[in-house]
Amino acid sequence: MSDQDPMPAEILQPGDCVSYRLRRAARTAARFYDMALKPCGLRNTQFTLLASLRRFKEANIGDLSEALAIDGTTLTRNLNLLVKKGLVENFGMDDGRVRNLRLSELGNAMFEEALPLWQEAQHQVLVALEPEPWYVLRAQLGKIEVACNPER
């Protein structure tokens, strides 16, 4: 810590760790969204992957890994479950090292079924948070990503 960046002593204590607070909030939010999506049989992590593939139309592991900030091993494991369920399909695997993915017809249908459930959960969280604080929080989360990225 430099003299130019004085921080109040109370926020430099382990109990106020940024990582701890973010992980705690993330776990709580994940449980909430998992419960909201339960009627369609998806977890929030799976919905996020379906939504990302829907947005990209098609992508490879590297594209998704970078976009979602998830390591390739975890992403591959999660995608394999969706492939096994028939929600995601591999295609155009000319090069054995590149795995191209897209939503299957069933995956698109599942996304459409899950979207209103997710939207209702999102609405509930945003009503509790109020829109303006969410925009501020979203911007602050972006700053944390930049500050914690070793390649910045």
pLDDT in tens, 36-50: 999 999 999 999 999
| Long-range CB contacts (within 8 A, 24+) of 74-83 | 75/49, 78/45, 78/46, 78/49, 79/49, 81/46, 82/46, 82/49, 82/50, 82/107
Output the CA–CA distances (angstroms, integers) from residue 38 to 69, 93, 105, 117, in the order listed: 25, 33, 21, 9
Output the pTM of the full model.
0.82
Between 20-24, 25-29, 41-45, 77-81, the lowest mean confidence (pLDDT) is in 20-24
pLDDT in tens, 113-147: 999 999 999 999 999 988 788 889 889 898 988 88
Correct CATH for 35-147 of 3.30.56.10, 3.50.50.60, 1.10.10.10, 4.10.520.10 = 1.10.10.10
Name residue 131's amino acid.
P
